Amino acid sequence: MNKPELPSSSSSDASSLHEEEEEGWEDAEPDQEDLQVVSLFDEKTFPDAKSMIEYCKENYGFDFLGAAKSLGLDFYSSVKFVNYIREEVRKGNLKPDVSSASLFEDDRFMKPVLEDDALLFSLDDLTNSASEEQDATGGESDAARKIADLEEQLKDMKSQFSEYRLQVEETLEKRWNDAAGTSRSKASASGEGSGDTKEDGIDFEGDYFESYSYNDIHETMLKDTIRTDAYRDFIYDNKHLFAGKTVLDVGCGTGILSMFCARAGASQVFAVDNSSIIEKAKINVITNNLSDKVTCIRGKIEEVTLPVDKVDIIVSEWMGYCLLFEAMLDSVLWARDRYLKPEGLLVPSHCTLRIAPLEDPEYITENIEFWRDVYGFDMTAMMAKIYDDILVRQVSTKNLAGDSACFMTLPLHTITTADLVFTKEFSVKVSRDIDALSGWVIWFDTFFLTSRGAVLPEDARAESWKSSNRDGVAFTTGPAGKETHWRSGVMIIDRSKHRDIPLKAGETIAGSVEFAKAKLNTRGLEIGVKWKLEYGKKEEAQEWFMR
């Protein structure tokens, strides 16, 4: 705002006017501006940051200053911290994760979430105030705090030592059992009659279950919101299907799907898993006050005995890379045939497999041609498996050289394990001119339909399922959807064995896809693709492996 223009007058009048002007500006722009600090967790406002922080601590159990201190935040990271919390609260998360400063290290958190956020201007005052209070408390409280910290460290060390001792005991037990030629210890619980799963000292079956004992793999799956939200939304949106029903969760992991079902009204849920993660699932169930509904059982579904003869619903997240890697669907189908009532429901109910041609010269250059000249050295030996292995990658739609084709539909209520080894034909049209085909991309779509008798439409596409107002829930792992932890299976064509043939838009590539279990590791996957141009050029073929 500009100051008003003064009228001409005598010097005494000017002096008087000058004094009045100064007084007027003091009224318009006071030295002390009243603050309105908005709460971190609701719309309540406070005259200062300190009272707001105390309010959040008392009403939401969130100690802002304590968290900032434990994370060792400076001023700029404190700004990011505030914006991170406000962003999480806007998403509806009233208990944001503050375990690590890496959660909000991105510079985007420097941008205020709340316009004119008075808290950001008060951070220095908060820090100084906290330091003064710490100095004022003096020696006794400081000593007590140090003692408490040391006691906490001692507690952690005891816990870590107990875990370490347990790991040592399990390792020694495994070695003793292996040396005696007995079956694998409780970490695998593979049991008799499961077939010979060892080759050259490798226990594929035991290693498979052991891999699910660790938190990382479950954290990855739980943070895959496309996957987890699909299960949650279907279960919560169809509570009438679960109310009062008995549910079996095959391969329950942390127990998340079992707890969804219990919260949706299931009267009893049996959560079965053959890895030691089941022990943590039990604690999760107890912690969330669901132990009266969810029963956790350790073992292979083929070997345990449920306390009921039949169940109303089987829920399982069994899908692997390229859908059938890991062969867990075999166990789900076994459970279906043994435990599911004739009118019972499988969740999910259908899956489809799709294939599309890939053209990605940049990937070829960066990841394959790179090895031909590394600082003047030929390192093509590093490419030994690049043409043999199925790569797990997120593919952009811009790198698809044509539309995808569905080559296999899996109606889970009726499909058999014998159907999971197959050869299916496909046909795709090239959508643009390309210099050469780089490879093939395979992914799967998953559908959750609300009745056993529901038939999946032939043109079903998961990415357009919701917008088409279809019944149920669906998600895709392909390029047209958001990235999932499955991503897509990418199979690069070996150019030393196949010709580079330029293709024109509109040309058709016909072929077949073969799915088979790996010869040694029956949880592995072998995929073979044959392809040829419609007008009769030489047929090409290649096989890839997922070990």
**What are the residue numbers of the active site?**
317, 326
Instruction: Give per-residue burial for 131-167: e unless 16+ CB within 10 Å, then b.
Output: eeeeeeeeeeeeeeeeeeeeeeeeeeeeeeeeeeeee
237 C-beta neighbours (distance < 10 Å), count: 14
Relative to beta strand 37-38, strand 45-46 is antiparallel
Identify any residues that bridge with 346 across adjacent strands, giving them in sequence order.
314
CB distance 86 to 40 below 8 Å: yes
Q: Is 450 exposed, middle or buried (0-12, 13-18, 19+ CB in 10 A)?
A: middle
C-alpha–C-alpha distance, residues 37 and 87, integer Å: 16
Do 454 and 334 contact (CB within 8 A), yes or no? no
Assign 3-class secondary structure to 253-296: CCCHHHHHHHHCCCCEEEEEECCCHHHHHHHHHHHCCCCCCEEE
Distance (Å, whole) CA 522 – CA 324: 11
Cα-Cα-Cα-Cα torsion 68, 72, 74, 78, nearest 10 degrees, comes to -30
